[in-house]
Chains A and B, each alone.
Chain A
Amino acid sequence: MRRFTAALFLIGLGVMIAAIYQHMDFSNTALNAGQAINSVAAQETGAANFVTSVVLAYRGIDTLLELTILFTAAMIGGMVLGKRRVDAPRDPDAGFILRTGADLLFPLLLVVGLYIILHGHLTPGGGFQGGVILASAFFLPLLARPGSSINQDVISIVEGLAGATFILIGLLAMSEGYEFLSPLFDKGELGALISAGSLPVLYLAVGIKVGSELAGLLAHLAEAEAVD
């Protein structure tokens, strides 16, 4: 009975969406905000990647709140899972291929992650994407050797420093007389690695914060005691 009503609900929803779809005007939507940003972003922020301009310069406070949401999720995840008992049984080490692969991939993942973070204002990518790659670099050894563990204290210190850097740059802009988190410093040459003022520094802080947060969260999940 429940499945029948659920199926009926889904069919109704599908018909409703199809009816809305008939009235939508595809591919001709007006790009008001987008067009305006596309025409002025290069002069205003100096970043070649306009998505980065939007994320860090035009709506930097949203990004700060987003980091807060991620931090809250990571913190509550750690609280819900709780501390591991000392004598809890651990999984055995993984096989030779995964162990060697993890050792080999660790430096490569670090380089790729940092590259994507530092080129966030020039190419697709940025702090969030690179941060996830950094997190996977630190999580992979944990998959290969479940006996080892990540030092959660170091992770929380790194994460706190990165978050504080982000807010401090925002406050620095305020002390210079601009609004909170407005772009600072020399804009430099469009497309150069060192350009766009404070945006790469902000993205570096975002990347390190996201990376350490996700690494800590994944380590918590991996360390959760198995139910035998």
Chain B
Amino acid sequence: MSMEFLDGNTILYSAAFGLMLIGIGGIVISNHLMRIIFGIALLEAGANLLLLLSTYHEGASAPIIVDGIIPAMMADPVPQALVLTAIVIGVGILALALSLAIRVQRAYGTLDMREVRLRLEQEICDEAGIEMPSSSEKPAEVIKTPVNSVVQQESGS
């Protein structure tokens, strides 16, 4: 039973699904922008592998005629051409994502999405002239103003 379960197809398919799951997990769980981009890359690799496996045939050779010999069974060239397309587009997406990440780093000085989200919201609220939205259940802020700083401001003005 166990040997039957671990045949080549199972391994290949679990690699494809596993890569996709790891990629989705990276996108969903992590907060760092670079890790999210790596997650996209892994998801892409898994999807490409799955696309190739969709027409996988045991013992089929590459769809190429070498020295005029036509192999008995050749793999389907259509998914291979599709994956070629997908890889190239994936490179474009990755490069675009990386350049956007460079811009985020330049604008906010961090790639932590929690912090970036907070800063974005703050900027939008400042621009619109409204308070940051907050819960009414939020604990009251304790404002501690040292006495001597107030005195300094008054003497300065």
Contact = CB atoms under 8 A, between A and B. Distances in A.
B85 A221 contact: no
A37 B93 CA distance: 31
Q: How would you classify the secondary structure of chain A's contact residues: helix, strand, loop or mixed?
A: helix
Interface of A: 2-3, 6-7, 9-10, 13-14, 17, 21, 24, 26-27, 29, 31, 33-35, 37-38, 41-42, 48-51, 53-55, 59, 62-63, 66, 69-70, 72-74, 76-77, 80-81, 122-124, 126, 128, 132, 190-191, 210, 214, 217-218, 220-221, 224-225, 227
B65 A190 contact: yes
Contacts of A38: 63, 74, 76-77
A33 B83 CA distance: 16
B68 A10 contact: no
Contacts of B100: 80
A13 B18 CA distance: 11
A37 B102 contact: no
B78 interface: yes
B21 A17 contact: yes
A14 B21 contact: yes
Interface in B105-147: 105-106, 109
A218 B91 CA distance: 11
B9 A26 contact: yes
A31 B55 contact: yes
Contacts of A122: 64
Contacts, number: 140
Contacts of B74: 34, 38, 50
Contacts of A70: 88-89, 91-92
B38 interface: no
A217 B103 contact: no
A54 B67 contact: no
B41 to A, nearest CB: 15
B151 interface: no
Contact of B95 (A29, A66, A74, A126): A74
A124 B28 contact: no
Interface of B: 9, 13, 17, 20-21, 24-25, 28-29, 54-58, 62-68, 70, 74-81, 84-85, 87-89, 91-93, 95-96, 98-100, 102-103, 105-106, 109
A62 B21 CA distance: 29
Contact of B68 (A26, A53, A190): A190
Contacts of B89: 66, 69-70, 73
Contacts of B105: 227
B13 A21 contact: yes
Given A13-B24, A190-B65, A50 B99 contact: no
Given A13-B24, A69-B89, A81-B102, A54 B78 contact: yes
A227 B91 CA distance: 24
Given A10-B25, A17-B21, A50-B74, A27 B56 contact: yes
Contacts of B13: 21, 24, 26
B65 A13 contact: no
Nearest to A59: B81
Contacts of B56: 26-27, 29
